Amino acid sequence: MKRLLVFAMVLSVVFISCKVEKKDETSNANNIKEQKIEYASFGDDITDVDAISAEEMRTKFKNLKKGDTLSVKFTSTINEVCKKKGCWMKLDLGEEQESMVRFKDYGFFMPLNADNKEVVVNGKAFVTEISVDELQHYAKDAGKSEEEIAKITEPKYTYAFEADGVLMKK
């Protein structure tokens, strides 16, 4: 009789443990759902699926020649946003390289306080030369001083990007 009672107690403990484990598995599944990244979306609807890193994008830019265009999606961090309208942004590519991003058909803008936010951009990458006038215009939009603007005296070869959609981490 004593053995039967001990056996019943052991079985009870096993059943209770199994139920607790299943509950823990359910809470782990909920935690996975909570880890989903939330984005603010600008322009066309895009996803972060198949986005390459900023470092991979820098390598792709290095292989482009003037006149080449590459459709691509990549992730990066915003170094700077236009402080007047949010009509352009500069994305970090690593190794002190940046990509100048404008938005397709001037169709959307980024928040003025988006500096240092992580983004996914989708669109066309190309290389271009930016004139002195245009560089000075961007410097003025960025709130640079007249002295800093006056120092811009040579055109700049740049990694350019026309984004049709942007996701920004919330």
Note the pLDDT of residue 6: 46
CA dist 109 and 122 (Å) reads 14
| Residue numbers of the chain with a pLDDT score lower than 50 | 4-8, 10-29, 32-33
Note the pLDDT of residue 46: 97
Note the pLDDT of residue 35: 62
What are the start-end ranges of the H helices in the chain?
A: 2-34, 54-62, 132-141, 146-150
Q: How far is CA 166 from CA 27, 56, 71, 98, 144, in A?
A: 32, 18, 14, 17, 26
Note the pLDDT of residue 26: 46
Is the pTM for the entire model greater than 0.75?
no
Note the pLDDT of residue 66: 84
Note the pLDDT of residue 19: 46
Note the pLDDT of residue 3: 53
